[in-house]
Amino acid sequence: MTTSAQAWSDRLASRAARLGVIGQGYVGLPLALVFHEAGFRVVGFDIDPSKVAALSHGESFIKHIGSERVNAAVGSGRYTATADFARLNECDAIFICVPTPLGRHREPDNSFIHNSARAIAKRLRRGQLVVLESTTYPGTTEGEVLPLLEESGLKCPDDFLLAFSPEREDPGRKDFNTRTIPKLVGGVNPASTEIALALYQTCVENVIAVSHARVAESAKLLENVFRSVNIALVNELKMILDRMGIDVWEVIRAAATKPFGFMPFYPGPGLGGHCIPLDPFYLSWKAAENGEWARFIELAGEINSRMPGYVVQKVADALNGDRKALNGSKVLVLGLSYKPNVDDDRESPSYEILELLAGAGAHVDYCDPYFPAARKTRKHDLRLSSVPCDADTFSRYDALVVSTAHDLFRKPDLFRKVGLVIDTRNLVAPLFPEGGGPRVVKA
């Protein structure tokens, strides 16, 4: 073990190392908390003053994390939230957990990563470790973050260390969490891998080292491409089988009885979350830069992007069956979250469905107690508030569209006065196995 590694080992064992996490959202906040709970002093950095204020008062703005954990961290005196990036100099290790969105033409936007790297470079000192966790295309850590950090005049690995470790957060999941989800780590050189591995091992149960940051970057993209392609497959099958009068949900259940060689994926109204709708295009963009065409990725993106429009067409067709036009009808969309039982609306297809319905002349509302008011996003500004989640309210609409399968929607009494449901999640029909419920059109 090198002298530098021995010094790091001593600081980790004694918990003397001070850690900084840039970005206190769905990735950075849970990471900061698990390091705090492992005994470290942690500074959480964010450019949003409202987040910093809430966290400083022990309040969590992410429901599944809970204010109890944040309040305990703040109360211990070992976790602080700040917008003062000058404090990066205090930190022995700095983790970058910032968004990586797509531009208007589906091109990668690494500006948040670059801005974070520049902020670190201004305060970079000898002995620091920097780890990028934001999902990005292969080569970002070495080809973009490293040069920005070395503008400080310091060199890696002689003066500082640099690694990539992809986030694998899945908000609201009960069976895995930040501590128990296996962690990949790859440095831009062996020394960086060694120290980053040792640091994560203090708070994560299973940490796996790979040969280089490029491998870790690529592995995260493979995970998300795998899901995107398979979801696109079942979405396409949904449309094909619907034309044949076959229920795709029953087909999937039947296929899933095979104990090997099959993994069930389920259709929906489109892709949501920060990973699957965006990250595969990072790889297709990088592939094109290297003279290759990522056909599967582009085709999957095309199919999944069609889903909100497909759902709206199913609504129009279903209303026609009731001798009503979509134009002028009252339509209620159930669920603004991108997945069940969480207050996470990032890239949720519900936003596009609501806008397409309104654009076709429908009078739209949504119901989602996780979002009393719809937030303004990079793409959408609905300016709507959630209607009450009760049977009388539901009965006032010509059609209900199930977009998110929240558990709170799984109550038969909510739908007994409803005439028509367009169900993208196969939620309502199973509530009435013997009939007697609303007319359900699966979409």
Q: Which of 434, 406, 400, 404 is nearest to 419 (CA)?
A: 400
In angstroms, rounded to a whole number, what is the distance separating the alpha carbons of residues 302 and 85? 40
275 catalytically annotated: yes
By the 10 Å C-beta count (0-12 exposed, 13-18 middle, 19+ buried), 82 is classed as: middle
CA distance 324 to 439: 15
Catalytic residue (one of 91, 97, 156, 275): 275
Could you tell me which residues are beta bridge partners of residue 338? none
Give the H/E segment covering residue 184. Answer: strand 183-187
Neighbours of 376 (CB within 10 A): 10
Say which amino acid occupies 421. Answer: V
Q: How many CB atoms lie within 10 A of CB 80?
A: 18
Sign of CA dihedral 114, 135, 170, 33: negative
> What secondary structure does DSSP assign to 28-91, as a single string?
HHHHHHHHHHTT-EEEEE-S-HHHHHHHHTT--SSTTT-HHHHHHHHHHTSEEEES-GGGGGG-
Distance CA 430, CA 292 (A): 45
The backbone region for 364, taken as left when phi is positive above 0, alpha when psi lies in -120 to 50, beta otherwise, is beta
Residue ranges with strand state E in 322-432:
330-334, 363-367, 399-402, 420-423
CB 231 within 8 A of CB 296: no
Burial class (CB in 10 A: 0-12, 13-18, 19+), 200: buried
Q: Which residues are catalytic?
A: 275
